[in-house]
Chain A
Amino acid sequence: MTGEPQRRTPGHGSIVLIESACTSCMICARECPSWCITIDSHTEPVADLPAGARARTENVLDRFAIDWSLCMYCGICVDECPFDALAWSPDLASPAETLAALTAEKADLAPDQ
């Protein structure tokens, strides 16, 4: 088969993070067999509570990073995420000059559009 050299993969090129859906629950980081997902989060009080309601806190995502040098593209994180915050993307992870630069942060992992 002689395909065009820049052919895109059908769908499993890389993983994107839909940040609004992420609850920082840590399930993906714990299920990842190659330990490539790093999550930092903190808790904040929920602001817009009705009057008299008990104070509640919610998790706020500070950092979400996938180390593409460790990721083996198994997709377990995509399958395990209970909030569908991770999804496959046809775009490939960008190459880098150094090992450290292969770590993609939240902004790099946001889907297009």
Chain B
Amino acid sequence: MALVEQQRISSEQWLGAVRRARDDGFGYFDWLGCVDEIGRSATFRIVLVLRDLDRPEAPPMVLTTEVARDDPRLDSVGSVFAGAGWHEREAAELFGVEFVGGNPRRLLLSPDFSGTPLRKDEVLAARAATGWPGAKEPGEGDAPVSRPGAPAPSRRRMVPPGVPDPAVWGERDPALPPADPAEVAESAVGGRIRRNRR
């Protein structure tokens, strides 16, 4: 028996498919979440898990849909499962997905916070501005690496997780257009920055 029953649904048919699943017996809302698919596709995946409490042994029903990153909007399922409202509000503020017809209020973040913290291309600006203790190489003292007259570092610079390569974000050539979100996300995983950029 399959561990989960999964259905991929187009974003236009989302609300209808959720209602149909409820009417098919999957009447217990488990959770709803969002996944940033950057690097694979320019979309957010919305995942909804439903259970049938009359058949506890039955696998949960997993409904997924994808919405475009540049215009992420989806019909709210709050009218089908009222409990999904909290999950949608969380996904809305953390990923910037708009749930049409849902409760537009914030759930966790303060009202004056701007940004979408769980998008993979979100730069941790406070980290970029703070000195990272791990930027030093073994055998390096407390003097900054790039002081004038210092010998060139023999190895490539390290950046902490959450801070992109300065050549992509921060010290980017002003003549270039802003970096693609996928490029920012790819370079913000931490470690040594690439020597040669394509």
Instruction: Collect the chain A residues with CB atoms within 8 Å of residue B141's CB.
Output: 40-42, 62
B111 at interface, CB cutoff 8 A: no
Give the contacts of A10-65 with B (CB-CB under 8 A). Answer: 23-26, 29-32, 35, 37-43, 57, 59, 62-63
- Pairwise interchain contact A35-B130, C-beta atoms closer than 8 A: yes
Partner of B133, one of A25, A29, A42: A29
Partner of B139, one of A30, A59, A63: A59
Give the contacts of B124-150 with A (CB-CB under 8 A). Answer: 130, 132-134, 136-142
Instruction: Collect the chain B residues with CB atoms within 8 Å of residue A30's CB.
Output: 134, 158, 160
Instruction: Collect the chain A residues with CB atoms within 8 Å of residue B140's CB.
Output: 40-42
> Per-residue 0/1 for B155-169: is the Cβ within 8 Å of any A Cβ (1 yes, 0 no)?
000101000000000
Number of interface residues of A (CB under 8 A): 20
Instruction: Collect the chain A residues with CB atoms within 8 Å of residue B130's CB.
Output: 35
Instruction: Collect the chain A residues with CB atoms within 8 Å of residue B158's CB.
Output: 30
Q: Which residue of B lies closest to A33 (CB)?
A: B161
Q: In the bound complex, how far is the Cα of B136 from the Cα of A43, in angstroms?
A: 13
Partner of B132, one of A35, A40, A42: A35
- Pairwise interchain contact B133-A23, C-beta atoms closer than 8 A: no
Instruction: Collect the chain B residues with CB atoms within 8 Å of residue A62's CB.
Output: 141
- Pairwise interchain contact A41-B134, C-beta atoms closer than 8 A: no
Partner of B136, one of A29, A35, A57: A29
Q: In the bound complex, how far is the Cα of B139 from the Cα of A23, in angstroms?
A: 9
Give the contacts of A50-103 with B (CB-CB under 8 A). Answer: 57, 59, 62-63
Partner of A42, one of B134, B139, B160: B139
Are A63 and B138 also in contact (CB < 8 A) when A35-B130, A35-B132, A39-B133 are?
A: no
- Pairwise interchain contact A37-B133, C-beta atoms closer than 8 A: yes
Q: In the bound complex, how far is the Cα of B138 from the Cα of A63, in angstroms?
A: 12
Q: In the bound complex, how far is the Cα of B139 from the Cα of A57, in angstroms?
A: 10
Q: Which residue of A lies closest to B136 (CB)?
A: A26
Q: In the bound complex, how far is the Cα of B136 from the Cα of A30, in angstroms?
A: 9
What distance in Å separates the Cβ of B131 from its nearest Cβ neighbour in chain A? 9
Instruction: Collect the chain A residues with CB atoms within 8 Å of residue B139's CB.
Output: 24, 41-43, 57, 59
Partner of B138, one of A24, A32, A35, A38: A24
Instruction: Collect the chain B residues with CB atoms within 8 Å of residue A23's CB.
Output: 138
Q: In the bound complex, how far is the Cα of B140 from the Cα of A40, in angstroms?
A: 6
Instruction: Collect the chain B residues with CB atoms within 8 Å of residue A31's CB.
Output: 134
What distance in Å separates the Cβ of A7 from its nearest Cβ neighbour in chain B? 33
> Which B positions have Cβ atoms within 8 angstroms of A?
130, 132-134, 136-142, 158, 160
What are 22 A-B pairs at a CB distance below 8 A?
A: A24-B139, A26-B137, A29-B133, A29-B136, A30-B134, A30-B160, A31-B134, A32-B133, A35-B130, A35-B132, A35-B160, A37-B133, A38-B133, A40-B136, A40-B140, A40-B141, A40-B142, A41-B138, A41-B139, A41-B140, A41-B141, A57-B139
